[in-house]
Structures are given as structure tokens and as C-alpha cells.
Structure 1
């Protein structure tokens, strides 16, 4: 009987912990890396690369630095993020200022 009580207590304590965890959305950097991986993978597929040749191409492709974003592209990205966060007024101005400064130029 005692093992049953212990198992039930354990189930209730761990069950709550699992229910409380939420799936986190990937960060912007993670999303960018995922997009880069998709693009490189697609390009390697188009070139029908295999084996060591594919590994070398993927390494080079994934290591390439992205082109610098233009001010307009940064503004669009920050504006979209501010909209998704439903920021208004001073909060939005502050967010936009920080976002534009933080974005790589």
C-alpha cells in the first residue's frame, strides 16, 4: 500500500511540473539559423551534392555571414515585432528605438 501512495504522490508532483512547462518560441537568432539551414540544404539538393562534397558545401554555406540589413529592412522587422507584441505609445517608441539600435547594421 505504501508504494502505491508514494507513486501517486510522485505522479501528482511531477505531473504539475510538466503541465506548467510551455513550448518556447525560437528566438530571432534561432529562426534565422533555421532559415539559413533550410536555404543551404535546398541549394545543396539542387546541386545534387553528396557525401564529403555536401558536408564541405554546408559548412561553407552555414558559415557565411549574412548581408547587412538595410535601415528599411530593420524598421520593417522591428515594426512587425512591435505589432505582434501590441505595443502602443511610449512603450512602442522605446521598443522601436532599442530594436533599431540592437539590429545589426
Structure 2
């Protein structure tokens, strides 16, 4: 009888702990999806500048976030342009041709 009660208590404890762990783990994942989605342009960075409490960032926190967000946008545009930097003959561009292409491509991506 005593073994049955202890076993039932252990199972109940295990099930409630597992359910609690799943519900609390799902909440941070939902919070991470909105800011993690990256679109181009400063307006998207502006809209993503929201703190953990849901309020817009201000001051130094906003400045830091905006710098990081804009740098991420530039680096993603740069890597996209890097893969497109191919000449008419199918070989990768090099030197001045590559520099000119990259400058124009990154500028166009920022628009």
C-alpha cells in the first residue's frame, strides 16, 4: 500500500514538473522570433527596438541596438553581394572590378 502511494506521488510530481518545464520554455521562444526576424532598412531596426518588457528602447540601449541591427543588415547584404560577384566568364571577380561591384551592390541593397 505504501509503495503504491509513493509511486503515485512520484509519477504525479514527474508529470507536473514536465508540464511546467514545457510551458515556461515555450514563452521565451515566442519572444525571440519577432526581434530575430531581420529585414533590411533602418525602419525595420526601429520597429525591432523593443525591450524585454515590451516597451520601446530609449537612450544608450536604443543607440547600441540600432548600431548592431544596421551592422547586421550591412553584413548580410555584403555576403549576398559576395555570392553574386561573378564575371561574364563565370569566374569570381577580383581587384577593382570586385570592389566596384561590391560597392554598387551594397548601396543598392540598402535602398
Which interval holds the TM-score relative to the shorter structure? Answer: 0.3 to 0.5
TM-score w.r.t. length of structure 2: 0.44
Normalising by the residue count of structure 1, what TM-score does the alignment of the two structures yield?
Answer: 0.46
Larger radius of gyration: 2
